[in-house]
Structure 1
Amino acid sequence: MIKSLPHKWIGIKMLFLLCIMLCTTISFGQTDTNSTATIQSIFDDFMVYRHENKIDKALETLDQAAKIAEDNEDAKLLLDTYHQYSRLFLDEGDKETAIFYWDRASILLKDISYSYGQAFHLYLDAALLFDEGNNFQSLKSLEESRMLSNNRNLSNNILLLEASIFTNIEKYDNAIKNLHALIVNSDDKERAYLATRANLQLAEISVKLNDLDEGIVHSKAALELAQKHGFAKEIRKANEELSFIYETLGRYNEALTYNKALEKIKDSVFTIEKAKLEAKTADKIRFEHQMNEINKLTAKNEELSESKNRSEITAILTSAFLTIISLLAVSLFRNNQIKLKTNDLLYTKNKELELARDAAVSAMEAKTNFLSTVTHELRTPLYAVTGLTHLLLEENPAEHQKEHLKSLKFSGEYLLNFINDILQINKIDADKLEPLSIEFKLQKILTDVVESLQQNANENKTKLILDYDPSIPQQLLGDPIKLSQVFMNLVGNALKFTKNGKVEVIAKLLQKEEDQVKLYFEVRDNGIGISEDQQKNIFDSFEQGSIQINREYGGTGLGLTIVKSLLGLFGSTIHLESELDHGSSFFFEMDFKCDAKALDDVAFELDPEEFNFKGLHILIVEDNKINQVITKKMLTKKEITCDIANNGNEAIDHAKTNRYDAILMDIHMPGISGEEATRQIRKFDQETPIIALTAISLDDSLDSFYQAGCNDVVTKPFKPEVFYQKIGENIFKNKMEGLV
């Protein structure tokens, strides 16, 4: 009896699932250089077609990529192609076919080492779990994916999916944070598309939170982007959202406008014909792939038939083997009984150890939180001490008072360094440090470190020299803040133990391949040196070699511990060579990404002496009255006028009614925080520089300050020269660049 067509398809699908379990895995080689460019072009075309919802064209481009991968036996390319098939069908709601390609990719992943492929596989797994409603399992898969690859495009797509999950579980603050980051993303592949999707999700959240005006803003932003770039699905979604919001508000004329646009899209003949063509193309490609697997299975069956005679010999050998196994079974049974008793004992002991571990973890968390709170709270009164000392020194004190004031300033700075070290170690212990990946200029970082420590070198009559390799690329990708901390600790340490000598900071290029460079760094001095016994423990916390050294030179003994931990974040290791009375050398290697196409242009920078502060008008946002007075006096010294806002709400009102050259925004305030106030101000003012002033704590993240809209961050208590430098850079550099 002849089956109907639907039953034939069911049979083919069942046969293909059997094929997945029985077929051996194919291993592939690599494509040649010429085909790489072709493949990249194909994937670029695919991305455009996917965004424009031209599913038939997108499938055809993927089919080309799959054929090239099979011809060249390129397993990684084939894996990437299967992943894109899976994502495309999942977007179209065809979950069965999406899983079909995801399973094929799983088979390939077993035999190749490909971290990006594994990361994207986990991202798709998270998308499938999210589609099934398994929100928390999906979040877990996304976290595993993020750890395997730092690919920018994948990271942005993870943020987008994560925002959808947070919305599902009503963690709206987390979702909004992700989506605001995506609106200003710098993705080189899907910048406009991600921003469009982010605006649509923000519109949906705004509707759920009954903030309909905000929903209109984000929906219109999404519609504008979608129409500009031809994102068909997003155009329809934005029209739907706007129609619904205006109808809810009772603004029926505007609702009707967007509803007509929506009906025009739905009723177009092109849309209907397009859907038929896409379905036909999808079925054709899916059928070809499944038939290929069936052919492979047929060949495998023929191979098995040829080996029938050999199976009889195998049966005889199997019988003999089973006889031997039977004799061993009795012995294994007795051993198993002994193991069961041992396992019971081990289980009991493990439970005891787990309880002890949990108690230790709780104690560590309590200690960490306590230290974080103490160090954070100490910064506020310390700001008053250092700020007032600076102001008194500026007011021409008597000679006998200067000495006392300088001692007070030194003590305040020493205490601040100690607090900073404690907070840094606390963050390391709590696993709160995460490396950034942003563009920076290495030569400027090292030059700034050397210049900032030049005064220390002069006091010790020591030469401080920077030996920088000019062949190092100008633009690198990494974490300039943590790298600066590493060198501040290493160079500061070298200067402390070197008098009437020389300290060298060395940076050399070891290797360069396309967009990857390996650099060598060294900080060398001819100071007192370190004995072999002391070298074994020199990187431990609070370790300075000996009590005598601590008494003579001071310090916390945390600097090298911080250096070791920070380098560990980047997969680098600090090394030491030293000899007593002959100096020390600390050196390490580090890998960076670089932009090979970037021009080695000279950055636009201003000399601090060029800053003319007179006549500037600045808003101070600060809830602490003493801090208000100190900050205002420091600005008045430079002939800067200012207004004061006691909290975030006042800051928003001031910013709406006045024009300021800059806003100094305290982050930790009662009511709305400085971050939230910055977000609100950025809705109507994108130009005025906002500088965050914060007594930074364990849970603070510089990333969140910048994402909120801050231009720069200054940690309290700050050095006056740093304070003025940041104000000058953000006001005058913006003005000058605007003129250019």
Structure 2
Amino acid sequence: MRNLLLVFLFFCSISYSQSLLKLTTEINDSIDYYLEVASFNKEDKRYFNKAIIYIDKAIDYAKKHGEYSKLPDCYLVLGGVYYDLGKPDTAIENFIRSINLYKKNVPSANLALAYYSLGKCYLEKNKIDLAEIYFNKSSEIYGALNFSDAIELINIQKGIIQKNKEKYDEAISIFSSVISSISNESFFDTKVEAYYQIGEIENLKNNTNNAIDFFENALIMNYNHSKNIQLQKKILRQLSNTYKKNNQLDKSQIYLERYVSIADSLDNFYNHSLSENTFDRIQFDKQLKTIEQLDKEKKSQQKTLRFSKLISILSIALISILSLLSLSLYKNNKIRISTNKLLKEKNKELTIEKERAERASKARAEFLATVSHELRTPLNAINGIAYILLNEKPKATQLNYLKSLEFSGKYLLTFINDILEINRLESDKVLVEKINFNLIDLVENIKTSFNEFIIENNINFHLKIDKDIPPYTIGDPTKISQILINLVNNAIKFSKNGDVWLTIQKIKESKNQIVLSFEIKDNGIGIPKDKQKSIFDSFSQGSVEINRTYGGTGLGLSIVKKILEILGSDIILESDVNKGTSLQFNLTFDKGEIIEKKEALQESENLPTKKTIKILLVEDNKINQMITKKMLEQKGIFSVIIDNGEEAIEHLKTNTYDLVLMDVHLPGINGTEATSEIRSFDTTTPIIALTAISLNENREMLLSYGMNEVITKPFVPEEFYTILFNFLSNTEE
């Protein structure tokens, strides 16, 4: 019984020791994971960058956790990546690092591999003496480890060195030794390479018959044992060349056809090809790895065998079962802990990426808000000054300049609106309005707005509207205007000296609804077939190339498509190069009510009868102060200007005004906060917001602070006066 207890304690101690060993290798397993992923990615040149990233992660991980014994492996793999990338200098740096670290321990197969890899780098840089030194060091270690097949791989490199030195006899001696030394079929690629190299030497010596014999031997061995397609391809090529050199043209043609067949099949199989020399290097490296793996498996099998013998000698079934059960439970627990640890790391990375994306989205929204405000504010000044000067009866010589300034301001505003609009449409925050409007007037106004552009491009513009279409419909006039303006603008731009047709027809009508077809057609340059699918994409290659030539942002068609998707429709494109383009879409409208047209606003009809009208203007921008004040003076309105919210609040506590114009963006207390404070003691005075409105601002939000109406900068003077006089008339009543 005492002996049984001792045996049980012995097994428990073994189990505990193995558990500690597993615990210490947990971090190594994580490093090995990164290196394994890196090795997988380095097999394809397209993913070398990923391989380098994972190796860097392994290096950082090893340094962070103090696992410096893994660093030489990392540098060895990294050197291999840079070697395959064709950067021998960087590869040399990493191989030297790995060698310096490996030398601190007992010589190993990895140290031999590092010397071998360093020798290949120097051989590629034509530093033959250094290459030979490191190949010899690699051979010494492989010899001490009894890796005979690995030594033969190095001997191949030594033979190639002698061949390059034109020491053909020494090279043949080395290759012949390789041929006689290799018996393991797993390394017959090396043997085939030796036959091939001797054949090349005989060819260089003009011994074509001997060369053919060695090439034929290499080809036969390749067929029977190796089946390495790349080796087979270069052997066939040399056979064809050698037979041709020997004036045996029939055989040369046969081998040439076989070579071409293999080359074509390889080209079709791979998305990109490696050079033969690069392929050979990778194959030899793989063989060295195979040798090391076989050695590891051999050692593992020896350990397993010794452990099995120990179990057989002890032959205590109960203790064996308990030991195995304990090991299994412990292993499963460690696997679970390791898996959870890796999952936590991945979750942490995902959280970081998510936060980064959210920050980018927030930054984009803030950028758009800033762009909207900072660009619209000076545009308000440009358009306002142009309007004021045009209404002050300028000289005939100045009139064209002022009209050009007005046109440029409107064009710049359209340009900015295109950029902001495409981002607004992509933000999924777009609502469709239902407004009763005159569709025919809308289309006529759009045509009129293009008169100058039509004349400039010498366009014959044809507007055809179905007589059965009711004048008033219910829909979103803003979005319909955006669609038609963009499409008509493109048609005119790309049809210089040609014709443009805008046709609107009734497709279907019911009691409450009507379906209309819109077609914009031109006989301009047309769109190539290969560009038609991508022409509606934002900043697509097709739109960018065209608009570089003809001007514009390239966003018009993208905006049109997105708006039509929001309205539940799609656009149909038909186009032929140099014949023209047709764009057609259908929209459904509710029937509207006829509204009596109002005449243009006249000062005498809209101004209240009150003798003096007083308006408080709260605006911090000096130019906007001047423009707004001047526009009010043109209508005989007296105004007082305050440039911040705090003073406006205090001023209104002791002064009365017919109306307040409140800029939203003010220093200190902004316009919304100031309005909310004013409403605590004054609920009757109309307050109208002046804002360069952004994506995050909206009418409902501004009105919720107590504002009565919103005017967007840069505002249209007629709309400005209309809103102003409506509120002034109401206050008079």
Give TM-score scaled by structure 2 length.
0.45
Structure with greater Cα Rg: 2
Give TM-score scaled by structure 1 length.
0.44
